[in-house]
Amino acid sequence: MKLTYLGHSAFLLETKGRHLVFDPFISPNPKAAGIDVDGIRADYVLLSHGHGDHVADAERIGKNNGATVISNFEIVSWFEAKGLKGHPMNHGGKWDFDFGTVKYVYATHSSVLPDGTCGGNPGGFVVWNDEVCCYFAGDSALTMDMKLIPLTCPKLDFAILPVGDNFTMGYEDAALAAVFIECDTIIGCHFDTFPYVTIDHEAAKKVFAAKGKRLLLPAVGEGLSI
Ligand code: NI
Ligand code: MN
């Protein structure tokens, strides 16, 4: 398993010989100028919701690679109309793919696609196979529904949680989310991209440490071994 941070909320997870790209927002992100979008290999593109800062490069990466978009029904339908392959899901549902199982879970946020089309309800993903189990929360606020994850999914090895505040959880709420999901290693995302989501890294790490949790705030392009 290999995880690479592509900036903002975008990640590349390599597991079981498959490449999974989450929420690609790279070409419009000046902080990700060092990432070559056309060099990204993807078998699947997982989209948590329809906002531009999560789907901006999905069509490009999807078409470059003939990748399958995994998201809610509304978002998958929108990308299928653009000629991409898709696998539609909705909250609470899981499916066994050739790399492992994906469960589409609740997120408290909003979701509209870049052209104003309804993006369904926003979500997150729990992904697991025999080498890893991880949770990608999308742009969620802290929600009690996160307590359902350890009750319904295998034990998490790590979780990717937004920590930038204003549009999503801030790091204080994300540290509580780490408690709710019973996960000790958290990778922060949705921070430092814009002035609204700029955070104090050391203060954030201290809040997590006080709860016995580890917060990683990767640099754009950084590979993470967990
Ligand atoms: Ni959003
Ligand atoms: Mn966002």
pLDDT of residue 226: 80
Q: Is residue 200 in some structural domain?
A: yes
Rounded Cα distance between 102 and 109, Å, is 20
Neighbours of 179 (CB within 10 A): 14
Q: Is residue 71 in some structural domain?
A: yes
Distance 124 CA to ligand 2 centre (A): 12
Distance 25 CA to ligand 1 centre (A): 11
Neighbours of 183 (CB within 10 A): 23
User: Of the bound ligands, which one is closest to the alpha carbon of residue 164?
Assistant: 2
Which backbone phi and psi does 8 adopt, to 5 degrees?
55, -110
Q: Is residue 16 in some structural domain?
A: yes
Distance 130 CA to ligand 1 centre (A): 31
Element (H, E) at 149: helix 148-152
pLDDT of residue 51: 98
Q: Is residue 226 in some structural domain?
A: no
pLDDT of residue 129: 98
- Name the DSSP letter for residue 54: H
Distance 22 CA to ligand 1 centre (A): 13
pLDDT of residue 225: 84
User: Of the bound ligands, which one is closest to the alpha carbon of residue 194?
Assistant: 2
Considering its fold, how many domains does the chain have in total? 1
Distance 156 CA to ligand 2 centre (A): 23
Distance 130 CA to ligand 2 centre (A): 30
Which residues constitute the domain of residue 101? Answer: 2-219
Q: What is the pTM of this model?
A: 0.98
Distance 139 CA to ligand 2 centre (A): 6
User: Of the bound ligands, which one is closest to the alpha carbon of residue 49?
Assistant: 1
For residue 53, give every residue at least 6 positions away whose Cβ sits within 8 Å of its Cβ, in sequence order, or none: 8, 9, 25, 28, 29, 193
Which domain CATH number covers 35? Answer: 3.60.15.10
The pLDDT profile of the chain, 226 residues, written as one tens digit per residue, is 999 999 999 999 999 999 999 999 999 999 999 999 999 999 999 999 999 999 999 999 999 999 999 999 999 999 999 999 999 999 999 999 999 999 999 999 999 999 999 999 999 999 999 999 999 999 999 999 999 999 999 999 999 999 999 999 999 999 999 999 999 999 999 999 999 999 999 999 999 999 999 999 999 999 998 8
Distance 122 CA to ligand 1 centre (A): 8
Q: Is residue 63 in some structural domain?
A: yes
Distance 110 CA to ligand 1 centre (A): 6
Q: Is residue 224 in some structural domain?
A: no
Rounded Cα distance between 77 and 220, Å, is 30
Q: Is residue 225 in some structural domain?
A: no
